[in-house]
Each structure stands twice: as structure tokens, then as C-alpha cells.
């Protein structure tokens, strides 16, 4: 199946050979590389993208969940074109930041917000804020959850072997992560053992989206909040991904109020914007001489106006109804394929996003995820690419539907997926990723 990808993308291969001389692995983010070379895209429109060889793909990766408004959305283009005539960045505060802050606070049930440019920045600031508020040092994170690429949380993100504390990059000193505590997702027993009075905060993806899409045990979530109140530590929802899956995000979906919420990706229609939000008594610690927060590109004019339009006009409640309906079609389609072909295939969906696992059941945490056999998934992935569908960004990612996807797009996805899964069924199973190291 890899041969089909190679035969269709010769210009991507040539560009890779050129780029890797000046860029490690020929890309600007490790997550964009896959063997034998990355796919180089030229443009996108609506639900489609085109690569340097001219191949058309229906895109369900959407910038790893960023583009729920679709590629080159007309309304986003219009507002950016109007805005840039006045300036892309002001230096001093832009007059519309308060408008956007109010929209976000009302929609997501937050008291106050500050803006940054990326999820990495926002989670970094959030743990500093939590430590300042509680006057404690330790942070609990869950194995397999991703909170950006700063050292303190770049631990046990995708370890090749489970067990122990594993930095997710070389160059991270042990001293930097000594106050980061790792526990299993959806496992209240492991959480209770470390949930003590010296914890500053627990940070989580409220729905795990860095190992496919693993549903959240609601009783587990309830217990986390109860323990946080009992022990006096904060709950941080990293909604960089989940904030754009339901109208009010995961906090609204679960009916809870975390102490701090991180938002990003889909909320700005494809522009770089992130949000650190939370309860007033916590957020008011930010300021000169208090908790540091800065950034030259924070709340730049383009991102602010794109986000206002996205939240007011594009990602509306009726839009989410349509997104969820199309995602339901994909889920049903995959389940029908599995039944018709007699393949061990489990499907997990949450809002406009979902993922498949070539296994009898969806894993409940990273330990179960990493022990799965991914050989069939990679066969499926390359067949999908060769037939013009980008099903998701990688084996640990998920599909996302945009407001520009149509029922015809979904039916094509399902048709191609049937062929891909049929070929994956005949793939020889190999050892799990963990066993191969």
C-alpha cells in the first residue's frame, strides 16, 4: 500500500530530499512527518486540499482539528482582508480584545480570560498560575495526554514503553519534571494515590485526543473534581481540542466548572489564538509584579477578528448540529463496514471527531492503547491517502468534520474506508509498538 502513496507523490519526495538539507526531517513540526516522507500541501478550499503533485484529498485532519470552518472560509478571508488594511499587530492593546473576551466568557462559562497564540503557551501559563494561586509545586498529568511542547508537561505523552516517568524529548533535565506526577487516565485508584495536599493542580484533556479518541468515564471525572475540592488543588481543562467540539466545549458537555480552562485551535477559524481562562480570584493574580504573562503576538488583530466571526457567525449551535450529524454518519459507516467484513474494529466518536481502532474494544487509557497492533491501521491509512482521503493526522489522532463537508464527502469517505479496511484485514499482524522496542 505504501507503493501507491509513493507512486502518487513523486514531487513530495523530491521536495522532502531538498527540504531536509535545511530543516530536520524536512518539516516545521515533528507531527507532520511520517515514513517514507511527508505529504507537502499547496492549497485548501472547503473540505478539500491539494498536494504539490496536484492530487486532491478530502481532508478530515483539518490542521489537527483547527479548521472546523473549512479551508479558506469565505467569511474568514473577508474579515482578514478588511483587518490587515489597518494593521496585523498593534503593539499596544487592540480595541476589540474586550469584545472577544466577553464572547468567550459568556459562551464557555468563564469569569476572565487572557490571550496567547498557541496551546503550548497557554498550558505553560496555566500551571504557573495554578502554582501561584495554591502556593504548591506539584502538577498531576495523565499518561498519553498532550499539553504542548514545554518541558514541564512534555512527559509520558507517547512513551514507547509504559511504566515510570518518561520525558517525551531528549534535553529535558530530570530536575524540571520532578514535580510532574504521571497517572493513568480513567483510573480513579491511581489518581487517589497521588491526590494529596501538596498538589497545585491536575491538568487533563477532558476527552483524551492524543491516543485516538478515548471516552471519559463520567464517574472518574466526578471523582477528580471531588478530590480537588477535598485536597485544595485546581482542575485545569486543556480544551485546546475539545473546546471546538461542542458549542460550550467539554466543560459545558460534562456540566462542570474547572478552575482554569485552556482554549485554542478551532476557535479562531484557522488563525493562531489560545485562551487562558478561569475563575476571577485565580485570573486576577496575573499582572505586573505578580504572575507573568506576555507575548508580542497575543491577541493580534487578525486572530481577534477571525475568532469573533468564528464564534458569532460560523461555529453556531445549528452548525454544531450539522457537524455532529455528519460525524454520526461516519461512525455508523465504520461500524457497518466492520460488521460486513467481519473485522475487529472499534469506533469512538465525540461530537465532530472520532477515531477507529483495529481491536475488539476502544482502549480506556494509554497502557491499553500502546499495546494494540497498529500494522492494520497503517495499511488503512496509506490506502485512504492513495484514494484521495486524509482520514486523520496519524494513528493517535482522529477525524474531524468541518462546516464545509457534505454528505457526499462522508459517503466517499465510507466507500474508500471499506476498501482500505478490507486490505487492512489481510495485513499480517505485527508486534505492538511497545513490544517492538
Q: What's the grid cell of residue 300?
A: 493580534
Separation CA 339–CA 345 (nearest Å): 9
Which of the listed CATH numbers 3.10.290.10, 3.40.50.2000, 3.90.1150.10, 3.40.50.880 matches domain 2-68+316-425? 3.90.1150.10
Question: From the candidates 138, 241, 245, 265, which is the catalytic residue?
Answer: 265
User: Residue 433's pLDDT is what?
Assistant: 57
Separation CA 49–CA 71 (nearest Å): 8
Separation CA 369–CA 43 (nearest Å): 34
User: Residue 427's pLDDT is what?
Assistant: 86
Question: From the candidates 5, 60, 94, 146, which is the catalytic residue?
Answer: 146
Using CB atoms within 10 Å of the CB of residue 23, give its burial: 0 to 12 exposed, 13 to 18 middle, 19+ buried: exposed
Q: What's the grid cell of residue 155?
A: 512527559
pLDDT in tens, the chain (437 residues): 788 999 999 999 999 999 999 999 999 999 999 999 999 999 999 999 999 999 999 999 999 999 999 999 999 999 999 999 999 999 999 999 999 999 999 999 999 999 999 999 999 999 999 999 999 999 999 999 999 999 999 999 999 887 789 999 999 999 999 999 999 999 999 999 999 999 999 999 999 999 999 999 999 999 999 999 999 999 999 999 999 999 999 999 999 999 999 999 999 999 999 999 999 999 999 999 999 999 999 999 999 999 999 999 999 999 999 999 999 999 999 999 999 999 999 999 999 999 999 999 999 999 999 999 899 999 999 999 999 999 999 999 999 999 999 999 999 999 999 999 999 998 877 655 555 43
CATH 3.90.1150.10 region(s) of the chain?
Answer: 2-68+316-425
Give one DSSP letter per residue of 25-85, joined into a string.
GGSSSGGG--SS-PPPEEEEEBTEEEETT--EEEESSHHHHT-TT-BT-HHHHHHHHHHHT
Mark whether 196 is an active-site residue. Answer: no
Class of CATH domain 74-314: alpha beta
Cα–Cα distance list, 34 to 26, 37, 155 (Å): 11, 6, 22
CATH 3.40.640.10 region(s) of the chain?
Answer: 74-314
Q: Which residues of 402-413 are buried (b: 16+ CB within 10 A; e: fewer)?
A: bbbbeeebbeeb
- Enter the pTM of the model: 0.96
Mark whether 161 is an active-site residue. Answer: no
Whose grid coordinates read 491516543?
211
Residue 392 makes CB contacts below 8 A (sequence gap 6+) with 60, 61, 355, 398, 399, 400
Q: For residue 293, which of 318, 266, 314, 274 has the smallest C-alpha distance?
A: 274
Mark whether 349 is an active-site residue. Answer: no
Separation CA 115–CA 103 (nearest Å): 13
Preceding omega of 365 cis (within 30 degrees of 0): no
Compute φ and ψ for 34, nearest 5 degrees.
Answer: -150, 155
Q: CA 381: distance to chain centroid?
A: 19
Residue 146 makes CB contacts below 8 A (sequence gap 6+) with 157, 158, 205, 210
Separation CA 267–CA 308 (nearest Å): 9
Question: From the candidates 51, 184, 238, 409, which is the catalytic residue?
Answer: 238
Amino acid at each position: 500500500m505504501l507503493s501507491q502513496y509513493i507512486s502518487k507523490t513523486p514531487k513530495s519526495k523530491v521536495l522532502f530530499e531538498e527540504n531536509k538539507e535545511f530543516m530536520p526531517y524536512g518539516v516545521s513540526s515533528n507531527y507532520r512527518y511520517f515514513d517514507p516522507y511527508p505529504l507537502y500541501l499547496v492549497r485548501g478550499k472547503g473540505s478539500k486540499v491539494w498536494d504539490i503533485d496536484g492530487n486532491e484529498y478530502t481532508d478530515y485532519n483539518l490542521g489537527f482539528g483547527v479548521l472546523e470552518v473549512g479551508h479558506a472560509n469565505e467569511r474568514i478571508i473577508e474579515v482578514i482582508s478588511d483587518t490587515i488594511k489597518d494593521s496585523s499587530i498593534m503593539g499596544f492593546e487592540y480595541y476589540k480584545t474586550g469584545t472577544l473576551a466577553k464572547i468567550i466568557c459568556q459562551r464557555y462559562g468563564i469569569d476572565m480570560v487572557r490571550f496567547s497564540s498557541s496551546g503550548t503557551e497557554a498550558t505553560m501559563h496555566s500551571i504557573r498560575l495554578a502554582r501561584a494561586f495554591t502556593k504548591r509545586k506539584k502538577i498531576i498529568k495523565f499518561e498519553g495526554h498532550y499539553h504542548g511542547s514545554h518541558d514541564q508537561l512534555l512527559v509520558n505523552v507517547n512513551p514507547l514503553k509504559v511504566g515510570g516517568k518518561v520525558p517525551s524529548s531528549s534535553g529535558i533535565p530530570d530536575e524540571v519534571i520532578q514535580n510532574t506526577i504521571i497517572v493513568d487516565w480513567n483510573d480513579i485508584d491511581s489518581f487517589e494515590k497521588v491526590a494529596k495536599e501538596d498538589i497545585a493542580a491536575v491538568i487533563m484533556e477532558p476527552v483524551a485526543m492524543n491516543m485516538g479518541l478515548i471516552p471519559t468515564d463520567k464517574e472518574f471525572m466526578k471523582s477528580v473534581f471531588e478530590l480537588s475540592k477535598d485536597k485544595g488543588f485546581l482542575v485545569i481543562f486543556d480544551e485546546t481540542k475539545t473546546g471546538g467540539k461542542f458549542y460550550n466545549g467539554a466543560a459545558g458537555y460534562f456540566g462542570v466548572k474547572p478552575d482554569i480552562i485552556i482554549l485554542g485551535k478551532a476557535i479562531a477559524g484557522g488563525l493562531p489564538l489560545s485562551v487562558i481562562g478561569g475563575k476571577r480570584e485565580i485570573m486576577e493574580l496575573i499582572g505586573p509584579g505578580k504572575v507573568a504573562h506576555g507575548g508580542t503576538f497575543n491577541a493580534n488583530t487578525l486572530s481577534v477578528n477571525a475568532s469573533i466571526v468564528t464564534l458569532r457567525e460560523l461555529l453556531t449551535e445549528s452548525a454544531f448540529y450539522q457537524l455532529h450529524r455528519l460525524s454520526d454518519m461516519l461512525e455508523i459507516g465504520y461500524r457497518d463496514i466492520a460488521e460486513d467484513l467481519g473485522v475487529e474494529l472499534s469506533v469512538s466518536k465525540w461530537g465532530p471527531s472520532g477515531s477507529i481502532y483495529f481491536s475488539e474494544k476502544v482502549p480506556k487509557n494509554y497502557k491499553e492503547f500502546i499495546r494494540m497492533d497498529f500494522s492494520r491501521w497503517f495499511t488503512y491509512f496509506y490506502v485512504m491517502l492513495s484514494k484521495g482521503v486524509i482520514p486523520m493526522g496519524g494513528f493517535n489522532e482522529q477525524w474531524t468534520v468541518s462546516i464545509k463537508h457534505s454528505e457526499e464527502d462522508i459517503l466517499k469517505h465510507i466507500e474508500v474506508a471499506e476498501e482500505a479496511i478490507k486490505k487492512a484485514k489481510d495485513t499480517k499482524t505485527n508486534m505492538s509498538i511497545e513490544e517492538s522496542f
